[in-house]
Structure 1
Amino acid sequence: MTEAYARFWKKYATFSGRASRTELLWPMLVNLLMFIVLVLARNDVASLVIGLYALVAFVPTIALGARRLHDINRSGWWQLILVVPAVGHLVLAVLWLTFPSPEGVKYDLAA
């Protein structure tokens, strides 16, 4: 878990390469738990922290999502499906949880 969360920040704006399901799920879970705790705090400081963290974590979240989609041989642009009301989140969640595809190797970083 700690390795996946550290990698989330280490690859802050890395949109190339691939990410496993666990590499995606652990940072998402940690971010969700932090958000829940701060929302339950219900004060001005917590609101400020939520806003600042959301701004800071926006780019690495999009980058991680793109790398996860590469692992199933999809373009990172599939994340734009989130603009479709109601269904977009469900479709993206299913894509993120899909098993890796051997064809996704084309997204690997050059060694």
Structure 2
Amino acid sequence: MTIPLSQPLRAASITEAYSRFWKKYATFSGRASRTELLWPMLVNLLMLIVAVLARNEVVSIVVGLYALVVFVPSIAVGARRLHDCNRSGWWQLVLVVPVIGDIVLAVLWLTFPSPEGVKYDLAA
């Protein structure tokens, strides 16, 4: 059974999560599961590590462009993940607080889904 893009995909594989990350590029409404958030974040982190280890100007430029391209979908999937926990996507602004903001947002992203988050679902 295929889960529609309007619903969170629980226990998504890395390929499923990364595919949904791009399919919902600028979709800030709806919900996302933890795996839909964490797998793309892991891929993006690995890209950053490759750039740091390569110490090559061309690789750094390519990864820098990649970072610009994934900026909007990263914020979008973060907002959808917060919706799944019954929080507003605006909670991501807590990142302006150094260190503490990172910890608070990580805890919110890793929180179990809330049944009340259904109010953020897309209309079918």
Q: TM-score normalized by structure 1?
A: 0.98
2:110 pairs, out of 97, 101, 104, with 97
Unmatched tracts of structure 1, length 5 or more: none
Determine if the alignment matches structure 1 residue 74 to structure 2 residue 87: yes
Larger % of helix: which?
1
* Residue pair 1:66, 1:76 contacting (<8 A) in 2 also: yes
Query: Which stretches of structure 1, 4 residues or longer, exceed 4 Å deviation after superposition?
Result: none
Quote the Cα distance in structure 2 between the aligned partners of 1:51 and 1:29.
Answer: 16
Quote the Cα distance in structure 2 between the aligned partners of 1:17 and 1:29.
Answer: 22
Unmatched tracts of structure 2, length 5 or more: 1-13
Quote the Cα distance in structure 2 between the aligned partners of 1:69 and 1:96.
Answer: 6
Per the TM alignment, residue 21 of structure 1 is displaced from its structure 2 partner at its CA by: 0.4
Quote the Cα distance in structure 2 between the aligned partners of 1:74 and 1:26.
Answer: 21
Overall identity of the aligned pairs, in %:
85
Determine if the alignment matches structure 1 residue 54 to structure 2 residue 103: no
1:4 pairs, out of 8, 12, 17, with 17
| C-alpha RMSD over aligned residues | 0.6
